[in-house]
């Protein structure tokens, strides 16, 4: 069972028990995780204890929550009480265990969800491939020779591999959307500041979002509603009133104005990555195009801000323990320390201008369609790719279409698009801030039409190519 809401409904009705689901999940993890390398820690004891408590509550006639008994896992930069938060780093393994759960984990547990572990990622969330020098590479369930994407690679692969129905990740420049697309599942990055980041090891504070992966629009909406709410522990988290998305979602999109992103977002990609965008546009009868101005510069500015903020955060360890970093991360952080201050200031100034330009576009359009990644999942260890006849590096360019959008904190859902005899690709549905419900409504229509649906691999040994 890969549908979170369906699992909870069966547990609440007595058709299944939380203990039964949790034990089955842990058995599946033990059998498959070795080949996928999703987990850095499996919380067997606490998961079984939490499942038993949920069953006891149900036996008493109580309702443990909308996610009662649903197993989930989190990227290992979310604090889990009793575990050391690694954030993909060897250095962090020396830290003491967290004393309390991250706010997002706490809210999911209060809704009845059962945490089963922490998930692999790129070191300090700086990457798009989850090839981690310390904790190994996470493999794509659709082809074990390919990357799962990153930096939330473990979070995407664990859902796409059928181990848990949903997981948490973080997104700075595309770290939820890229692996969601490459693994063929839904990946949601709500508006910047909409969800609390308290208890999360940040990478670039002015860009970092948290979000989640799941197999259906209903699950994405349900989890989003659970995670919403002001949090005084996170000063970035807005005081905006909670607006439940699930009750707003239906299949009527006649009044939603949808357009296709052209120019920058229609270049430098394999034909199949652009073809899935057209497939979505055809399904929705969309013929209007919009140009997001200076997206290339926005991406460059995002690079500058990310490198500066990340390098500053880890500056002391870079000075005294450079040998303990993942080389791929260390070298980019070191480059970040050399960026002149005025570059960072100019990048932030451009960010304000760019935000205003995109805001104007949303005066006439509600949802924009764009590709998520320029290619299917690259091979593990693949260094370069060829786009439009130009050979470029894989690692920085998997975020080609995601960086210019997270740069200004827009809510975005990467939707998995059905393709026969092909590895997964995704399409981004983009809206203006706090319009998550519009995105989910459009995604619902695509799901009902069979255009969008997750592709789950239950036995990954069968999918080596």
Q: What is the chain's pLDDT, residue by residue, as a tens digit (465 residues)? A: 789 999 999 999 999 999 999 999 999 999 999 999 999 999 999 999 999 999 999 999 999 999 999 999 999 999 999 999 999 999 999 999 999 999 999 999 999 999 999 999 999 999 999 999 999 999 999 999 999 999 999 999 999 999 999 999 999 999 999 999 999 999 999 999 999 999 999 999 999 999 999 999 999 999 999 999 999 999 999 888 888 988 888 889 999 999 999 999 999 999 999 999 999 999 999 999 999 999 999 999 999 999 999 999 999 999 999 999 999 999 999 999 999 999 999 999 999 999 999 999 999 999 999 999 999 999 999 999 999 889 999 999 999 999 999 999 999 999 999 888 889 999 999 999 999 999 999 999 999 999 999 988 865 443 443
- At CA 126, angle to CA 122 and CA 128, rounded to 5? 65
Give the helix/strand (H/E) hosting 405: helix 403-406
Locate 294 and state its tokens. 């200076």
**Catalytic residue of the set 17, 155, 170, 175:** 175
- Considering the domain 4-463, what is its CATH architecture? Alpha-Beta Complex (3.90)
The DSSP element (H or E) to which 106 belongs, if any, is helix 103-110
Q: Is 175 considered catalytic here?
A: yes
The CA-to-CA distance between both ends of the chain, in Å, stands at 26
Q: Is 240 exposed, middle or buried (0-12, 13-18, 19+ CB in 10 A)?
A: middle
Catalytic annotation, pick one of 28, 75, 201, 279: 75
- Please say if 75 is a catalytic residue: yes
- 345, containing H or E segment: helix 341-361
Assigned token pair, 316: 């002391």
Tell me the β-bridge partners of 431: 367
CB burial readout 80-105, b (16+ within 10 A) else e:
bbebbbbbbbbbbeeeeebeebbbbb
Rounded CA separation 321/265 (Å): 40
Residue 268: CB atoms within 10 A of its CB come to: 18
pLDDT of residue 462: 36
pTM score, whole prediction: 0.97
Residue 212 in contact with residue 169, Cβ under 8 Å? Answer: yes
CB 227, CB 101: distance < 8 Å: no
Distances (CA, A) of 110 to 68, 74, 101, 214: 9, 16, 12, 19
List CB contacts of 246: < 8 A, sequence separation 6 or more.
218, 221, 222, 225
pLDDT of residue 464: 43
Residues 6+ apart with CB under 8 A from 375: 269, 270, 273, 385, 387, 398
188 backbone φψ class: left, alpha, beta (φ>0; ψ -120 to 50):
beta
- pLDDT of 242: 87
> CB of 172 within 8 A of CB of 162?
no
* Integer Cα distance of 115 and 259 in angstroms: 39
> What radius of gyration do the chain's Cα atoms show?
21
β-sheet with 166-171: strand ranges across: 39-42, 114-119, 71-75, 166-171, 209-214, 186-189, 412-416, 426-431, 367-371, 258-261, 289-290
Q: What pLDDT, on a 0 to 100 scale, did the predictor assign at position 460?
A: 43
Residue 290, C-beta contacts closer than 8 angstroms, at least 6 positions apart: 259, 260, 261, 262, 361, 364, 365, 368
pLDDT for 250 = 87
């Amino acid at each position: 069972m890969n549908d979170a809401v369906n699992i909870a409904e069966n547990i609440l009705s007595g058709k299944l028990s939380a203990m039964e689901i949790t034990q089955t999940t842990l058995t599946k993890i033990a059998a498959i995780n070795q080949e996928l390398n999703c987990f850095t820690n499996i919380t067997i004891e606490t998961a079984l204890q939490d499942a038993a408590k949920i069953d006891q509550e149900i036996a008493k006639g109580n309702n443990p929550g909308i996610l009662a008994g649903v197993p989930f896992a989190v990227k290992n930069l979310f604090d889990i009480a009793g575990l050391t938060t690694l954030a993909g780093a060897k250095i962090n393994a020396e830290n003491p265990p967290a004393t309390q759960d991250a706010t997002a984990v706490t809210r999911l547990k209060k809704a009845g969800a059962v945490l089963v572990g922490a998930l692999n990622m790129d070191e300090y969330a700086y990457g798009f491939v989850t090839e981690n020098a310390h904790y190994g590479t996470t493999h794509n369930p659709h082809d074990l020779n390919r990357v799962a994407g990153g930096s939330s690679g473990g979070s995407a692969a664990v859902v796409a591999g059928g181990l848990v129905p949903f997981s948490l990740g973080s997104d700075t420049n595309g770290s939820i959307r890229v692996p969601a697309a490459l693994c063929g599942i839904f990946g949601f990055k709500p508006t910047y500041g909409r969800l609390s980041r308290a208890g999360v090891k940040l990478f670039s504070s002015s860009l970092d979002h948290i979000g989640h992966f799941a197999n259906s629009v209903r699950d994405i909406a349900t989890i989003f509603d659970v995670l919403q709410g002001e949090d005084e522990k996170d000063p970035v988290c807005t005081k905006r009133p909670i607006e439940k998305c699930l009750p707003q979602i239906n299949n009527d999109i006649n009044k939603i104005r949808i357009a296709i992103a052209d120019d920058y977002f229609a270049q430098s990609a394999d034909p199949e990555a652009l073809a899935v965008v057209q497939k979505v546009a055809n399904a929705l009868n969309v013929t209007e195009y919009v140009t997001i101005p200076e997206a290339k510069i926005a991406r460059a500015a995002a690079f500058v801000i990310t490198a500066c903020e990340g390098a500053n955060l880890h500056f002391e360890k870079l000075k005294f323990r450079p040998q303990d970093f993942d080389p791929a991360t260390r070298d980019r952080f070191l480059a970040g320390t050399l960026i002149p201050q005025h570059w960072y200031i100019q990048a932030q100034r451009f960010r304000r201008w760019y935000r205003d330009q995109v805001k104007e576009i949303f005066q006439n359009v509600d949802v924009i369609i764009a590709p998520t990644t320029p290619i299917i999942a690259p091979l593990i260890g693949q260094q370069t790719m060829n786009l439009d006849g130009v050979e470029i590096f894989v690692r920085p360019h998997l975020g080609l279409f995601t960086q210019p959008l997270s740069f200004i904190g827009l809510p975005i859902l990467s939707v998995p698009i059905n393709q026969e005899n092909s590895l997964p690709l995704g399409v981004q549905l983009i809206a203006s801030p706090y319009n998550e419900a519009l995105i989910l409504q459009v995604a619902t229509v695509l799901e009902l039409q069979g255009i969008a649906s997750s592709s789950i691999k239950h036995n990954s040994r069968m999918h080596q190519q």
